[in-house]
Structure 1
Amino acid sequence: MSEPTSLPGQDDLVLHHYSSSPFAEKARLMLGLKGLAWHSVTVPMVMPKPDVTALTGGYRRTPFLQVGADIYCDTALIAEVLEARRPTPSLYPAAMAGQARALAQWADTDLFWTALPYAMQPAGATALFAGAPPDMLKIFVADRKAMSEGMPQVRGLDAGAALMQYLDWLSAMLADGRPWLLGDETSIADLSVYHPLWFITKTGPLAEILQPHEALRAWMGRVAAVGHGERAGKLDGAGAIALARASTPRSASVAAGMGFDAGQPVTVTPYDYARDAVAGTLVGLDHRTVTLARDDERAGRVHVHFPRIRYTLKAA
């Protein structure tokens, strides 16, 4: 695909991702389910990430979504942004909305943090990094070790044992012949459960753990068929920064009774892994989201948005 001759509009969707990221695959599928067009920015797999830092202020997880000068972190929040952009088909069908959100949260935490160490056993890592530069695996492992430092994790055979049970649970949900995990409609639960299992399919001999689960593998085929929406263009990091600088962030407000004041210097930090604090001025807050204003030398004034769940907000 050729490089764009002009920047996307400030209302266009720009996904910052890389191809092998499990959470990025979840985001791409959300865009596909919604049938949305989006622009692609490929970010580095490991630090340093200077263009990412210019936009996010230090949030280093992949992916994040850019809409002009607004930066949305975490796929849980990206899902809400896309739902507001195009309500149908819904990621949260009314009959199963609560179940879908709860199952998605389990998939993004317990299931993901079981699948990842299972996949990164030597045989899986060798398959995942086949064809990569010789030192890439070593660099990747060191980077992810720093990201997850101090975080309790299941390992090796323990991860395999837990994953086998989780696959049994998921297969039982499909045993009655339903097409999707929660019934007749696709939901955020399907996309969230899928992405850790999608990662496992890339692990060579370790992917055989999926083989006994015929209904689950058929369901994975249906999820994959959702597709990734329309890739409307491709940007590099400098282009994304230029887009932010040329745009005006959306207005936000701080709700009363939340324990913080508008204009207050604060930090937001993930409390499980990649615990890099983002500092800024509080401009938006309610029980669902928090928004910081930041002024960056390259990107100008940006608003960085986070979900409230699994993030810690503190006065700076």
Structure 2
Amino acid sequence: MHDLILHHYPMSPFAEKVRLMLGLKGLAWHSVHIPAVMPKPDVIALTGGYRKTPILQIGADIYCDTALIADVLEHRVAEPPLFPAHARGLSRALAQWADTPLFWASMAYTLSPKGAAAMFANRPPGEGQAFAADRAAMRTNMTLLRPADGTSAYRSYLRRLANMLDDQPYLLGEVPCIADLAAYHPLWFTRTLNPVLADIFDATPDVLEWMDRIAAIGHGRPQRLSSTEAVGIAHAATPEPIRPDEVFQDDHGIPLGSRVSVAAEAFGTEATEGTLVGATRTRYTLERHDERAGSVHVHFPRVGYVLKEIKA
């Protein structure tokens, strides 16, 4: 069984979500630090176009999007569960809310003009402008919350989280699950990366105590690996074969073996092209070849992604 390789950078909130998944399950993993902004040549060698952070690599299999990464880790190590038996659907639904409305409200607040100035005040000259330009390119055709509207929504969402913590230590009961990790990571970004704005949590002390409990989970057992080494591992490996019992779910009229593209619906819509070799009820799998990475399978969740056939 190939080792887990996480491609991430320290300040990435979605990477923090996955780092905590690895910690919750007590896993050892290889940590590959990648650039926060483009260009990302080693990432693109593996994914073929997808550039959001993080990605999970297992040999020559590349898993995109934290929702899919959660499923992969749950399948690999079932206990402790990310999706508790008493709230499988609820935990997924709450995590999806946290990854979208909560996340974007927190970003509107934390990266407001005041917040961005504070966050990049002690960084190298030009880093803030480069970050802003990179993220603007990823938000093509997105409608963003204005800082004041984002702040109002963020305060409301924090109160809702506090209400869920009135009589229990975690959002859905006595133990943490995917809902906690997803709700935590945008708040972590505010509190840890931009503490000048962390006073927004003062009105919800229960949320602060919960955040401390989540932080105590830790990140498992990471070991550094270079991105060049990770690309070499992919080249030397063979993608896991598509299991014969995996049911092909055809919602698009696109047969297996077709040349296709997959891209996110909204944020970070750079497409990955390849041959469609798998389409289950939860994911798409594309086979592609790269001169440096060799033959790889790139996996995407169905929810939040657009599959298109590439006509000859």
Aligned partners of 1:137, 1:308: CA distance in 2, in Å?
Answer: 33
User: How many Å apart are 1:21 and its aligned residue?
Assistant: 0.2
Residue 68 in structure 1 maps to residue 62 in structure 2: no
> 211, 230, 234: which is aligned to 2:224?
234
For 2:137, the equivalent position in structure 1 comes to: 146
For 1:3, the equivalent position in structure 2 comes to: none
Secondary structure at the counterpart of residue 170 of structure 1: helix
How big is each residue's C-alpha offset from its partner over 1:26-50, in whole Å with a ceiling of 9 and x where there is no partner? 0000000000000010010001111
Residue 175 in structure 1 maps to residue 175 in structure 2: no
Moved more, 57-66 or 199-208: 199-208
For 1:7, the equivalent position in structure 2 comes to: none
In 2 relative to 1, CA 257–163 (structure 1 residues): closer, same or farther, beyond 3 Å? closer
User: How many Å apart are 1:179 and its aligned residue?
Assistant: 0.6
> 4, 23, 27: which is aligned to 1:32?
23
Aligned partners of 2:266, 2:65: CA distance in 1, in Å?
Answer: 13
CA contact (8 A) 1:30 1:79 kept: yes
For 1:313, the equivalent position in structure 2 comes to: 307
In 2 relative to 1, CA 243–257 (structure 1 residues): closer, same or farther, beyond 3 Å? closer
Moved more, 16-25 or 204-213: 204-213
Residue 251 in structure 1 maps to residue 241 in structure 2: yes
Please report the RMSD computed on the Cα atoms of aligned residues, expressed in angstroms: 1.1
For 2:73, the equivalent position in structure 1 comes to: 82
Residue identity in the other structure for 1:276:
E
Identity %, equivalent residues: 53
Aligned counterparts, 1:172-211, within 5 A: 172-176=163-167, 178-201=168-191, 202-211=193-202
User: How many Å apart are 1:252 and its aligned residue?
Assistant: 1.6
Secondary structure at the counterpart of residue 276 of structure 1: coil
CA contact (8 A) 1:124 1:206 kept: yes
Aligned partners of 1:162, 1:79: CA distance in 2, in Å?
Answer: 27
Aligned partners of 1:149, 1:119: CA distance in 2, in Å?
Answer: 20
How big is each residue's C-alpha offset from its partner over 1:158-195, in whole Å with a ceiling of 9 and x where there is no partner? 1111111111111111112x010011121100000000
User: How many Å apart are 1:127 and its aligned residue?
Assistant: 3.0
Residue 93 in structure 1 maps to residue 84 in structure 2: yes
CA contact (8 A) 1:123 1:205 kept: no
> 189, 207, 211: which is aligned to 1:220?
211
> 140, 150, 163: which is aligned to 1:159?
150
How big is each residue's C-alpha offset from its partner over 1:269-302, in whole Å with a ceiling of 9 and x where there is no partner? 1001110010000111112000000000111000
Provide structure 1 residue ranges, at least 5 long, that are not aligned to the other structure. Answer: 1-9
Secondary structure at the counterpart of residue 32 of structure 1: helix
Runs of 4+ in 1 over 6 A off after TM superposition: none
Give the TM-score normalised by structure 1: 0.94
> 261, 283, 288: which is aligned to 1:294?
288
For 1:15, the equivalent position in structure 2 comes to: 6
Aligned partners of 1:227, 1:74: CA distance in 2, in Å?
Answer: 21
Provide structure 2 residue ranges, at least 5 long, that are not aligned to the other structure. Answer: none
Aligned partners of 2:119, 2:178: CA distance in 1, in Å?
Answer: 26
Residue 264 in structure 1 maps to residue 258 in structure 2: yes
**Alignment coverage as a number of residue pairs:** 305
Aligned partners of 1:184, 1:37: CA distance in 2, in Å?
Answer: 25
